[in-house]
Each structure stands twice: as C-alpha cells, then as structure tokens.
Amino acid sequence: MKNLYKIMNKSIYALIVLTVWWPALAAAQEADENENEGVLEEIMVKGRFISSGQQLVNERMNDAFAADLLGSDTISRLGDSTVAAALRRVPGVTLVQNKYVYIRGLGERYSQSTLNRAQIPSPDLTRNVIPLNLFPTSIVESLRVQKAWSADLPANFGGGAMDIRTKGVPDGFVLNFEAGIGANSENPGSVNSYQGGGDDAFGTDDGTRALSRDIINGVASYQGNPSVNSILSFLKRQDPGATLYDAQLENRELALALNRNIGIKKESTHPDYSFRANVGNSFDIGPDWIAGFNVGGSYETDWRLRKTTTANFGRPDEENGAKEESTRSVDIAGTLNFGLKWGEDHEIATTSLYLRNTDDETEVFDYFNENRRKSSGRGFRDYRLQFEERNMITHQIDGTHNLGTEMRERLPFIGKIVSWLPEKTSIEWFYSTSTAETDIPNQVKAASETFTDRVTGEVLSENIRLLSSAADYRFTELDDEVDNYGWSVMAPVEFDDSYLELSGGWDHARKARTYRQSQFSLGYLSVSDPSVLEGGLDEVFSDENIMAGTPDFSSPVPGAEQFTNNAVFDRQGANTNSYIAATMTDSVWGKADWTWRDTWRVAVGARWEGYRQAAVDWNPWGFSADDPQLTANPEILQQGVFNEDNIYPAAGITYMGSWWAETFQLRLGYSETAIRPDLREITDSGYIDPITGELVRGNPGVLPSEVESIDLRAEWFFGNGDNFTITLFHKDIVNPIEFFEIPASDTTIAREIINAESAEVQGVEFELMKELAFLGGFFDTIFVQGNLTLQDSELVAGPNANVPTNPERKLTGASDYIANVMVGYDSPNAKHTASLIYNVFGERLYVAGRNGSPDGFEQPFESLDFTYFWYPTDRITVKAKAQNLLGEVVTIERSSAVTFEEDPGTTFVLSFSWTM
C-alpha cells in the first residue's frame, strides 16, 4: 500500500490544478451570463453524466449475479478510443499489451468476449482470445462485465465475461459527423519506413508485398523444396546434362520474385486523423408497426514511434539493445442496423459490422548479446518490416417476443397454442455468423552485423551477415469462422407475496480456423567483394548482386557460367507452423429465479455443455507420402482430439432493503466452471510464435482447468445518483493452464503448455460514485467516481513444471492493487464538461524465471488523462483530450535490473462533431 500512496501523492498537484482551480475559474467567468438562468435548467444539467447511466444502474440492480457496466456516455467522457482501453476503468480489470484484458488477476484465457451476447472469432495469430483493441468505442452502446457466472453464459469462464453491445436503431432521426486531429509527443517529424503499396492508406495491400505466383508454382514444381540441390536433382531427371549452374539460375529466378524493394527510408509523419459519420431514423409504417435503420462508418490513421531499451538482467551494461519501431495504423469500421417492431411485444433487429485494423511496422533493433558484447566493439542489427491487416465481418439477427395479452388477442390462433403459458412469457432467439481474417502478406527480417563505439555502443558501420538466411520472408494467412445461434424462454409465475421466473434455453456454437504460414530465406554464402553486403537492404539484395556473373547466352564464353556472388533462396520453417482446428459446443441450460416480498431473491441454475475440439498440423508444401500435407497416423490424429461433457452449477442469493440508502443489496454468488485448452494446445507439435519468436510446444495431456468461484457484494444506491459498492471474491483453480519455460538453446526461448497444480485468487473491490454538492458553491456540479481493487494470487507449479525458480508464485499479469479515479465537472449552463481520469496498477509478474533465473515484473504505470467538452450550440461539440499527462514509461525489471523500457509518450486529440 505504500507504493499506492506514493503514486497518488505524485499526482496531487495535477489533480488540484485541473479539477479545482480550473472549474472554479470557469464558474467565475460564467457567473454573470448565468445569473438569470432558471433553476430548472441548472437542475437538469447538474446530473448530465450521472443520469445518463441510470438505465445501466437499473440493469445492474436487477441482475441476480454481480456485473459492472460502462455506457457510451461514460466511455466518451473517459476519452478511450478502444474497448480494451475503456475496460481498464472497470474494477479489478487491467490491460496487457494494450489489447488483452485480465480480470481479477487472471490472464486473457480466463475471460470470454461476446458481441451482442454472441460468440465471435479472433484474428489473433496464436490465441483463441479476442484482442479488444480491434473494437472502436464509437460503435459501442455499452459494455457489460459479468464477474459472477450464471447458467445462461458459456461455461468457459474464469475471471469474467465481457459483452460488447453495439449501437442499434435510434428512436428518431439522427445525423452525426465528427472529425478529429491529434499528435503524440514521441513522434518526430520523420520516421523509418519503406516502399509500400498503393492502397496502404486504406489499410490493405495492393499485391506489392504478396507471395508471387511464380514462387508458388516454382516451389510446387520442386515438391516443396526449392534448394539448389533439390532443383539440380529435378533437372537431372529431366535432362541428364543439366549443370549446377542451371540449378543455381532457377533458384535465383525464384529469389527475384520476392519483393526486395525493402530499403529503409525516412518518411514524414502526419498528425493523427479521425473521421466518423452515421445516420439513422425510425418510421411508422402501419398501425403499431415501426421500422428503423442506422448506418455508420469511421476512419482513423496515425503514426507512432516506439523506442524501447532491453537488457540482460545478469550483464545489463554489456548485453543490451535499443529498438526503434515506427508504425502506421489504419482503422476502419462500418455498421449497418435494421429494426422492426410490432407493438410493445415483438421486435426483430439485425446488426452488420465490419472492422479493419492494420499496422504497417518498420523496426530497427541494435543489440549486443553473449556472443558479441558491447565492449567488443561489434554487435548486431536486425531489421523487421511487417504489414499486418486484420478484418472482421459479423452479421447478426435477433428477436424478442412477449406472449402477453395483446398478442394473444390479436393472433387468436397463436393465443390458443400458448394459452397454457403464463401471460408474461417471453421468447428470445439469435443467429450470428462471423469471420475474422489476418493477412501478413510479407514479413521481412534481415540480419546485419555492426561495428560500434566500445563505450557508447553507437553504430559506426554495418553489413548484412554472410548467411544463407540473412533475409527471412514470411507470408501468413489466418481465417477464423464462428457460427453461434440459440433461443431462450422465460415464464414468470406470480404468487401472493413472491415472484418466480423460470427460464431456459439452448445454443450451438461452432468455430473453424485455418492458419497458413510460408517461410522463405534469401542470403549469400559468399560474395566477390565485402562491399556487396553494405548499403541498404534493397541494394544488398538487388537484381545485380543476385544475378552477378550471369553469362550472355547469345555468345557464350567457356567457363563464364558462374555466379560471382553465391546467393541462395530456400524454404524455411518447421512443417508444423500451419494448422487446421475446429471446436463445436452444444449447450442446454435452465434457471429458477425466485423473489420473496421484494426482500429476498434466490437464483439457481445449471448448464450442460457438450464440447468437441480437434486440431491437426498442416503442411501446405507437402507433396509426398513421406511428407504429406495432413497426417494419416491415427495416434497423432487422436492426440489432436478432445471431448468433454459436463454440467456446471450456479447459485445466487440476494437480500434487498434500505439500510443506509434508498436501495441496499447484498449478493452472494457461487459457481463452478471450466477453462479449456486453446485450439492447438492439445497437440504435441512445436511451432514458432509469430509474435514473440519463441518456440512453443503443445501438450496432448493438458486438461481443462476447474474453477470454483465465490462472490459477496454489498451495494448502496442513493436517490441522488450516488452509489457505493464493496465486493469480496475468492477463486480456486485446479489444474490451471499455464505456459512454463523449458530447456532450449542459448539464443532460443522455449515454452510448453502444462497444467500447474493449483491456483488461488482472492481480493476486495471498492467502487464509489459521489456528487460533491454538499460542499456548496461550484462543487454543486462536481462529482467523483472511482474504484480500488486489492487482491492476492498464488500459483503452485506442481510436478509438471520444468525447474521453475519459484515453485509458488503470483499468477502472470496479476497486480496487488488496481485503482481508478475520475473527477468530473459540468458547468451550470451546460456549455462545458471536464474530467480528470487516473488509473494505476501495481507491480505484476511479466515472466516467470526458470532454473534460478529471476522473475520479471512490470512496474506500476500511472495513467493520468484529461478530457474537456465544449457545447457552443445544441448541435456542435468540441472535444479535447490528453492522455498520459504524467509521461509515464513502461518498465520491466528482473532482479532490480531494468530489462525493458518504453516511453509511450503523451497523446493530444482535438475533435469537432455536429449532430442533427
């Protein structure tokens, strides 16, 4: 707790200036123009923010199981542009790598994400979990985080379930335009880049980077092996007179089909730009019939420069590195909604969503390691160029039908069929089909060696390394498809002093994923002159250098059929990098929810799930029985199959009263759930993680984790909108699924998925919303909202782990504390609103050590953001926001040595919107 107090004290000056002095000055300046304003207007605007979330507060109060919600008004005020960033404001939630959400100290595999209650695919290359930075907050109506499991949710549940609820059809005509511009303090005027394609501004490649058809056909011709020796054997079978030169020529011609226009150049950066627009309306199309639509789109683009430093914890002064990565990002979103409503009892809605998220990265990494230390004056430089395009398309339709008196009178024939059901019975159904695709048309890595200053490490000169794989080309395609559909029914039964809701349903989900990775290498075994290896990447791998020495066949000279530079092209990578996987889940659930005298509420339920999973390694370049594309070995195939049938219970009891507040609720929840292995974790194959570069091994013996959860939550809701919540939680996990490091070479990190013995998480959450009107004066329009989570976790590695340094340790990513504070101000004349938002998490385990190596911990990061809204007219809004005002840096330490450091900079954004 001392660290928490220290962190809060560092921000006290900014808190005073931006939340007390500034609103006081604004109030004084506006006093004259507001003195004749009516009291009614002041009352209406006083709770602008608080009242906007009242509907979500009501939903939270009516839930039988503990849940937290964020509405679109709250998210807008917080200034977060992605769902991932917004969720870190929820109690007990932390954000990892700016895209994965950890809930109550449990990693991303222990949480589930849905879109409008339906399961959706993931564009993540190695994980089933969805990176939530893919979703812009502009499409969101609300976010729901349910931390206590109930039987109507999928049983693959650990820390919590997040539902992204998108905006639907408006009640009336809506037309909105918004444009924004921004900048980041770390962005210089120009950054490293390379020659891309003509469609990069739209976040897609025009074919410039794509794998050439010549290479595809050529590699297929040589049965997946385009090496010189393989080509020579192939040619000799056709023509015994074929020579080594003929094979080398064929090999080089394949190399020329690679995109080698990859020289690093400087490119001017532009400010961040964003554009959004939407239009919608509802129409009366007949007696009691209402139809509506909503269509919207957005485009955002920005440049970011990331400078990071790394170091070996044992020799940080001698073995370290500096990385400079420039990224051009393009985000495009489009939504289309239709709705049809008949009376108050029947409603059908459709949602179509398109998302594109593209990052074009250029990285230069200078480093020293155990082979070349800083004092030696020699080091390494790695180049990486990567264009990654992620797309998601979702189509959904759902319906709600209340079988009430009105419907039965209008449709007597249906009324007779359902006459045996209670009058307030309702039926809901949904169907969702989604596809997520990730395309990396060309990831290039090139290895250089450098000559450096022995003291400063400054690079004095460099050359491409003399290796057959000096340049590595990877082409990756991921296709992930999910279909999810089902129905539910709720039948209420009323008694004299109690109320019973009986509900149940069925749903089906199936997921199919194909992952294809092709890897090729280009390099030199020898060169005629060392200068060939010097210069830009496009110069080193130019046509002239690769084909140097090619004879003139029109007048051949004896002995001239030789290449002066021994350039080689080949296919690389293990045949297990690509795979095909699928899952299928059938579920049936039932729930009884009984309320007695509006004082006691008991909810019990159970869910049966039949789960099937299959995964198989796929070699796209397999052309023979000895090297097939898919194995026919029944033992190997059986290893990739997993089946599970189980019943999962949940129960909750709630006391409702008026102790200390107009509404008081005390909830106790209990559940048993499971966390299943990811798609390819049940195979024993090894593959290289395309994100981290680590060797990863699956485990056919891995078992689902069993999760037992208990929650106790007390909530006070006051009449003026204030609320206060305390939650105690405890989770026991048997067979937690974790990655543990295993032996590998000096320069390779290898991990294996195993079942640890057990894990335990426990903690307490505090949440508060409080108006400050009791202080009088300008505090009438100031409120404070915040939450604090204190938690503790422990993982017992057990016998399956390979010599962990600490057999008992914290869970990866778990923090001892998480805090959020927002101070908000609404001017009396409704022309201005401002918010200061603070977020911090405690030290959290980043990497677990092995065989005596220390654990690595990410250090606390204080995020202080400021947002300001000006409403000059009823239709115009001007918004300004600043993020990371404290200039915090991301730091990872191992044994008190800083092994990683990155400065994300401070971001400033100014936007203008017009609404009709």
Structure tokens at 77: 């005020």
State the Cα–Cα distance between residues 39 and 35, nearest whole angstrom.
10
Q: Are strands 832-841 and 817-826 parallel, antiparallel or unpaired?
A: antiparallel
Q: Are strands 111-115 and 160-166 parallel, antiparallel or unpaired?
A: parallel
Q: What is the pLDDT of residue 781?
A: 87
pLDDT, tens digit (0-9, with 9 covering 90-100), for 270-288: 999 999 999 999 999 988 8
Q: What is the 3-state secondary structure (H, E, C) of 589-630?
A: EEEEEEEECCCEEEEEEEEEEEEEEEEEEECCCCCCCCCCCC
Give CA separation, 130 vs 99, 109, 115, 152, 476, in Å: 8, 10, 11, 21, 18
b/e sequence 854-864, b meaning 16+ C-beta within 10 Å: bbbbbbbbbbb
Banded pLDDT at 31 (limits 50, 70, 90): very low
Q: What is the pLDDT of residue 406?
A: 78
State the Cα–Cα distance between residues 349 and 773, nearest whole angstrom.
42
Strand partners, 140: 166
For the ranges 170-179, 185-194, 683-692, 894-903, the lowest mean pLDDT is seen at: 683-692
pLDDT, tens digit (0-9, with 9 covering 90-100), for 705-747: 999 999 999 999 988 888 999 999 999 999 999 888 887 765 6
Cα-Cα-Cα-Cα dihedral sign, residues 114, 116, 117, 120: negative
Distance of CA 427 to the CA centre of its chain: 33
Please list, in sequence order, all residues whose beta carbon lies within 8 angstroms of the beta carbon of residue 850, skipping any fewer than 6 positions away. Answer: 740, 741, 742, 802, 803, 804, 805
Structure tokens at 667: 């909830």
Q: What is the pLDDT of residue 550?
A: 61
**Burial label, 573 (beta-carbon count in 10 A; 0-12, 13-18, 19+):** middle
Place of tokens 């894990």: 759
Higher-confidence residue of 617 and 331: namely 331
Is the predicted pLDDT of residue 590 greater than 60, yes or no? Answer: yes
Strand partners, 752: 697, 740
Is the predicted pLDDT of residue 756 greater than 80, yes or no? Answer: yes
Contact 322, 316 (CB under 8 A): no
Q: What is the pLDDT of residue 685?
A: 65
Is the predicted pLDDT of residue 217 greater than 60, yes or no? Answer: yes
pLDDT, tens digit (0-9, with 9 covering 90-100), for 160-190: 999 999 999 999 999 999 999 999 999 998 9
For the ranges 754-763, 769-778, 801-810, the lowest mean pLDDT is seen at: 769-778
Tell me what the pLDDT averaged over the chain comes to.
88
Q: Are strands 265-268 and 272-286 parallel, antiparallel or unpaired?
A: unpaired
* % the chain with pLDDT above 90: 66
- Arithmetic mean of pLDDT, 856-869: 94
SS3 537: helix
- Arithmetic mean of pLDDT, 505-528: 94
SS3 44: helix
Q: What is the pLDDT of residue 152?
A: 95
Of the candidates 239, 234, 236, 237, the residue with the CA atom closest to the CA atom of residue 221: 234
State the Cα–Cα distance between residues 325 and 386, nearest whole angstrom.
11
Strand partners, 436: 392, 480
Banded pLDDT at 328 (limits 50, 70, 90): very high
Helical residues (DSSP H) of 120-243, grouped into ranges: 213-221, 228-238
DSSP-assigned letter for residue 532: G
- Arithmetic mean of pLDDT, 682-688: 71
Distance of CA 207 to the CA centre of its chain: 27
- Arithmetic mean of pLDDT, 77-95: 88
Q: What is the pLDDT of residue 184?
A: 95
Question: Amino acid letter at 641?
Answer: V
Of the candidates 716, 746, 575, the residue with the CA atom closest to the CA atom of residue 656: 716
State the Cα–Cα distance between residues 708 and 461, nearest whole angstrom.
59
- Arithmetic mean of pLDDT, 299-326: 94
State the Cα–Cα distance between residues 18 and 867, nearest whole angstrom.
10
Contact 249, 550 (CB under 8 A): yes
- Arithmetic mean of pLDDT, 227-253: 93
Structure tokens at 424: 């307030």
Q: What is the pLDDT of residue 197?
A: 94
- Arithmetic mean of pLDDT, 133-162: 93
pLDDT, tens digit (0-9, with 9 covering 90-100), for 357-398: 999 999 999 999 999 999 999 999 999 999 999 999 999 999
State the Cα–Cα distance between residues 118 and 111, nearest whole angstrom.
15
Of the candidates 570, 573, 571, 540, the residue with the CA atom closest to the CA atom of residue 252: 570
Is the predicted pLDDT of residue 4 greater than 70, yes or no? Answer: no
State the Cα–Cα distance between residues 616 and 578, nearest whole angstrom.
9
**Burial label, 799 (beta-carbon count in 10 A; 0-12, 13-18, 19+):** exposed
Contact 736, 755 (CB under 8 A): yes
Q: What is the pLDDT of residue 602?
A: 97
State the Cα–Cα distance between residues 387 and 555, nearest whole angstrom.
44
State the Cα–Cα distance between residues 344 and 623, nearest whole angstrom.
62
Following CA atoms 652, 657, 661, 663 in sequence, which dihedral angle do they give, to the nearest 10 degrees? Answer: 60
State the Cα–Cα distance between residues 140 and 435, nearest whole angstrom.
20
State the Cα–Cα distance between residues 502 and 425, nearest whole angstrom.
9
Is the predicted pLDDT of residue 551 greater than 80, yes or no? Answer: no
* % the chain with pLDDT above 70: 91
Q: What is the pLDDT of residue 776?
A: 82
pTM: 0.89
Give CA separation, 371 vs 318, 374, 465, 513, in Å: 11, 10, 14, 40
Q: Is 830 left (phi over 0), alpha (psi -120 to 50) or beta?
A: left
pLDDT, tens digit (0-9, with 9 covering 90-100), for 635-673: 888 888 889 999 999 999 999 999 998 999 999 999 999
